Each structure stands twice: as structure tokens, then as C-alpha cells.
Chain A
Amino acid sequence: MRLRTRNMILLSVASAVVFTTAGCGGGLLSSEDSGASGASGPVKLGMVVPISGSSAPTGAYMKNGAQLAVDEINKAGGVLKGRKLELIVEDEACDAQQAVASANKVVTAGVVVSVGGYCSGATLPTLPIFQKANLPMIIPAANSQELVTQGLANVFMINGTGKQQSTTALAFMKKAGYTTVALVDDNTSYSKDITTETASQIQKDGSVKVLLKTSVTPGESDYSAVVRNIMAKKPALVYWTGYYQEGGLIINQLKKAGFSGKTMVADGSVDPSLTKIAGAGAEGVFATMTQTPDTLKGAEKWIANYKAKFKADPGPFSTQSYDAVRLAAKAIEDAGTTEGGDITKALEAIDGFPMFSGPLKFTPEHTLSSGGFVILVTKHGKFTLDNTLS
């Protein structure tokens, strides 16, 4: 009962807010045929990405990528007959609590589509918030399978999933002839997702053997325990699926321990800092990754635009974030409204929308039909394209 009263109050406050914003913008009449954010004024897109914390560099790449798309679309006339797009960025900090607070913040700010989400563990608890607000989410980077297993209608992922990444990892192991592997994760949702999926695919396939599957605690400096375990099993390849800080340390400590096999990292570790931290061990580290601007063919013009605007190089997930905004704009345009349900339907109907990862059509579970993962390798401290496995 108490809950219901509170909801009533919230509802009346919310409608009052709608009433006043509509009143300010375009008069009472126009508010009847539009969604919650009013019929004129900017169309707001919410982006919850890491601005602080260990993943902050990637957050900046994503924010810039999205901003580039917003500016381009606004320059070309905006959406819905001349309304401008506005990007509202809040901090995810790769932390569940912070992400929830920030998601609430962007919902309150009146966004119509969410185009953020980097750390899966932090993005996961924001799903119900956007769902209750009936806002579609286009998730550019976070890619744990768990994000879509709940089957929420409003959740779309435009990065390859953990499952697709695992498939690529296995394909590479087979192609390059690594028959024994160690799988190491950092116990977070995203990371564990990939090791578990890779292990089960390897088991089904049968041609590669998992010698070791283990987890480490993120945030420490000394990983001698896992290094010892790996040295005892002597796998041909170590696949690390956590983030780059611990990845760099583990690669460095493996090198110090005299490990003679190869290491491969998942997309969370693809960051220029990985090679700096890894020091002497940094050459020849493989990575399963979606194409970055550096490795994409035909992205030179896009990179030049990005550089001119932000005086910095684009990085991992800049392209996905750019595409997320373009996709959101396209769906809003197709739907002809800013109402969440209509935009979701428009997203589901999209077929062949050109993106960096290829023409887009969502699968029934709202993921990409092909993950677009390739194999990168570090050369002179930089990630370069090694193998497209095609």
C-alpha cells in the first residue's frame, strides 16, 4: 500500500514535469502526440561509460566517438524534422553502484535512448532501470552473454558477444595449432563469461585441450600464484579474458618466470597501456578483438575527422560508440517519434544499416549476426591486425 502511494506521487511528479517541459517547448497541443521528452527541443541520448577508474581511457574513446556522430548528425539537420541530438554522458566507473546511480541520472535527464555501457558487470544492473523507463539500450561495448539472456525487449548489443568471441578464440587456436591452453579470468561477469564459453566450446570441439581454468582477484600486483600454476602445466597458449591492468602484470610476470608459450588477451585488454605495463613481455601478444580504427580498411577519413576534432587518436570502441549514436538516430527517424516502444520496433526492423562492423541486422536475441572478431597481435607496443580468420 505504502509502495503504491509512493508510485502515485512519483507519477504525478513525473507528469507535472512532462507538462511543464512541454509547456515551455511547444505548447500543450503538441505534447499529445509525442513521447515523454516533448515534441521539440533536443532529442537526448544517454551514455553511461567509465569516466573515472581503471577503464577511464576507454570511456574517453567512447564518449568522443559518440560525440563525433552527434555533431555530424546535427550538422546534417538533426532528427525528426530538425531537432538536434544531445549527448548526456555520466560516469559508469566500471562499478555497479556508480553505474546504477548514473543510469538513474540520465533517465531523469529525459534521454530517449541509451547508447552507453562498457563494463558488463556494471551495465548489467542498469538494464532494469532503462527497461522500467521504457528506453531502448544500444550497448556499444559491454558484451557479456548475460546482458541478453534475460530476453529484455529494449536491450540491443552492437559489439560481438562473449560467445562469438569464444568462437573466434577457438578458431584461432585451431588454425595456429595451439593444442593446449590455460584460460584465466578475473572473476567479473564479462571475463568469466568468455572463459566458461571458450572452455565449453573447446570441450565440444575436442581438438584443443584446456590444461588450466582459473581466476585471479583484480586490483593486486602480485600474480605469482597463477603464474606458478601456468608454469606447472606448460600450456602452449594462455588466454587472459580480464582487463588490461592485470593482463599487463600477468604477461610481465609470466615472462619473468620464463614462460615460453604465447599469450592471448580478450577485447577488454586491448588498450595501449597493456604493452606499457607488460614491459619486456609485450611483443607478440595476440588478442581477440573487433576491428579498431587502426586496423580497419577505409577508416582513414574517419580517423582524420576524429583527430581534427579531439586532437587525439581514436581508440577501442570509438567506432562502436559512433555507430551506436548513428543507429539510435536512424531508429528514431524510422519510428518518427521518441517513444521507447516504437524505437525498439524500429531497431528490430533495421536491415542492412551500414556500420564499421558490417551491414547490421539484429538476431532475434538482439545481438549481431556475426561478431566481427579478428585476431590482433602486438608489434612494437601497438596492436596490429594479425589474422581475420576468413
Chain B
Amino acid sequence: MTQLIWDGLFVGSFYALIALGYSMVYGIIKLLNFAHGDIYMLGAFIGFALLTSMGGIPASLSLGALLVVLLVSMLLTGTAGVIIERLAYRPLRGAPRLAVLITAVGVSFSLEYGIAAIAGPNPRAYPIRLEGGVFEVLGARVSLPQIILMLIAAGLMIALNGYIQRTSTGRAMRSISLDANASLLMGINVNAVITRTFFIGSALAGAAGVMAGAYYGKIDFLMGFIIGLKAFTAAVIGGIGNIKGAMLGGLVLGFVEAFGTEWFGGQWRDVFAFAVLIIFLTLRPTGILGERVTERM
């Protein structure tokens, strides 16, 4: 039981990190950025390239090296997110929503097969592996890397929350999500705020990518696909457009999967996860914490 809760929490924090980017972008420009899962993949590959170029890293320094690589990868994936927004989404700002959605799918494929062309289609084993002590907590096996990764994830989420609640940019983000035109009239530089939103959301996904690479040890160019869909599900569960909802949704989805597989068997895991998506979309499209009525595609 405690093992279930712990596993759900761990996987859920990955979902939450990625779901945040989905939710932030949706909250501000009403775009389901289906390329977001591939930003996660991009982050994993950037981290891979950085770690490989650093050469052999002694085990004692691996955590420090990982943190540095994590930060650099976040900067780079954030920048990639900004470039994608500038090239693929901003020209379509006034276009019908469906056109932007299709563009997002196009961006997703471009990223996947672009990486496949550059880095090769074969899966790669990550150059450093987080291995560490395992201890029992109330009957659950908890490992040190898991705790470190969850602390990083929690830290990032707390920082994000503070940023949105306390800074002027955060206030601008919230006001744009309420009414973009009115915000523009109030003198907010809407484009600059959207750019920042993409930067932050993509950086978080990139962080999740590096963390997944270092923990699970394998990356490949399609790794963002399923987890992207799961993060989208998490965002919907929590209430898409709602930042705290995305964090909550990620954890809820993690629990749903952990308990669902326990009761129904491993092969039902994805059936279970996406059935929850359908149930939420039909019964409560605004999600757990959603306030506004979301328009459905």
C-alpha cells in the first residue's frame, strides 16, 4: 500500500512537471501544445549530449554534474520553446484554433524525426545513472535518487508558484489568461509574456527529460509521445489552464495508475489512465480545480 502511494507520487511528479507547461500555455493562449512532450524528449537529448561531451565523470561528482547539466538543459529547452512559439505559433495567433492545433502536431513530428535524424533512431543509454541507497519507509522501498528527483521537482514547482503569484510577470500571465485583449489595453506587453510562458513551460519539461534520462537510464526519440499524452491528461484532471491544478492532476494521475494497475493488472494501466481522461472530459471538463468553463476542441 505505501509502496503504491510512493510509486504513484514519484511518477506523478514527472507528470506534474510536464503538465505545468501544457496548462500554462493553454491558460494563456488557449493552445493545446502537443509538441510539449517532445520538448521533454529534447531536454533528455540535450542532457545526453552535454553529459557525453563532459566525458568521464567520477561517481562522487555525478549529482553535481547532473545539476549543472539540468540547469543548462533547462535554459536550452526553454529557448527552444521560445523559438517554436515564435516560428510556428505566433504567425497563427489569429488563425482558427484547429489550425494552431494541427501546427502543434506538426511541430511534434518535426522535433521527433529531427532528433531521430540528428542523434539516430536507436535508443541511448544515459552516460550517468543515479544509483543510491535504498531504505524502507513504512514498508515502501524508497531510494535516494527518487527523493532527490522529487525534491528537485517540488523545488521547481514551488519556485514557479511563487513566480506566478508574486512577480509582476506572473501577475501579467494571470491577467492575460483572464482576458488577453483587456491586458493589452492595460499596457501589458502580451507577446513578451507569452514568450516567457513558453520559456518556463519548456524549461520545466526539459528538466523532467534530463531527470527521466538519469533515473531510468534510457532515452529515445519517441519517449515524449506517451508521457506527453499522460501530462495532457493530468492537466485536464487538474483543470487545464490552472497551475496548481496541473500539479495536483499529475499526482492524481500517478495514483490512479498505481492503484488501477494494482487492482486490474499491468496491461490495463493506459486504459485506466485514458478512461479517466474521458470521464473527466464528459463529467467535469473543468477538472478538479478548474474554475472557468473550458471550451472544448
Contacts and interface: CB of A to CB of B under 8 A. Distances in A.
A225 B143 contact: no
Interface string A53-97: 110110000000000000000000000000000000000000000
Contacts of A221: 212, 216, 218, 223, 227
Interface stretch (A234-242, A273-281, A288-296): A273-281
Nearest to A222: B11
Contacts of B267: 187, 214-217
B282 interface: no
Contact of B4 (A187, A228, A252, A258): A228
B125 A52 contact: no
B137 interface: no
A249 interface: yes
B251 to A, nearest CB: 14
Contacts of B141: 257-258
Contact of A214 (B122, B134, B225, B265): B265
B217 A252 contact: yes
B123 A245 contact: yes
A216 B220 CA distance: 18
Nearest to A229: B266
B266 A214 contact: yes
A224 B270 CA distance: 13
Interface stretch (B100-108, B163-171, B255-263): B255-263
A297 B71 CA distance: 51
A248 interface: yes
A226 interface: yes
B3 interface: yes
B118 to A, nearest CB: 14
A224 B265 contact: no
Given A219-B226, A226-B266, A279 B217 contact: yes
Contacts of B291: none
* Residue of A214, A228, A280 most packed against chain B (CB within 10 A): A228
A57 B261 CA distance: 33
Contacts of A217: 226, 267, 269-270
B266 A52 contact: no
A220 interface: yes
Interface residues of B, number: 36
A256 interface: yes
Contacts of B129: 279-280
A277 B123 contact: yes
B222 interface: yes
Interface string A324-338: 000000000000000
Interface string A182-216: 00000100000000000000000000000000111
A219 B218 CA distance: 11
Nearest to B262: A228
Contact of B216 (A56, A222, A258): A222
Given A225-B258, A273-B125, A277-B217, A220 B226 contact: yes
Nearest to B223: A221
Contact of B143 (A187, A216, A256, A273): A256
Contact of A229 (B123, B131, B265): B265
Contacts of B134: 256, 258
Given A249-B217, A276-B125, A277-B125, A215 B212 contact: no
7 contacts: A214-B267, A224-B10, A225-B269, A229-B261, A256-B134, A277-B123, A280-B131
List the 6 shortest-distance A-B pairs measured between CB atoms, nearest first: A225-B261, A276-B125, A215-B267, A221-B216, A226-B266, A224-B7
Interface of A: 52-54, 56-57, 187, 214-217, 219-222, 224-226, 228-229, 245, 248-249, 252-253, 256-258, 273, 276-277, 279-280
Interface of B: 3-4, 7, 10-11, 14, 116, 120-123, 125, 129, 131, 134, 141, 143, 212, 216-218, 220, 222-223, 225-227, 257-258, 261-262, 265-267, 269-270
Given A221-B212, A228-B261, A245-B123, 9 more contacts: A54-B122, A217-B226, A228-B262, A249-B217, A249-B218, A258-B134, A273-B122, A276-B125, A277-B217
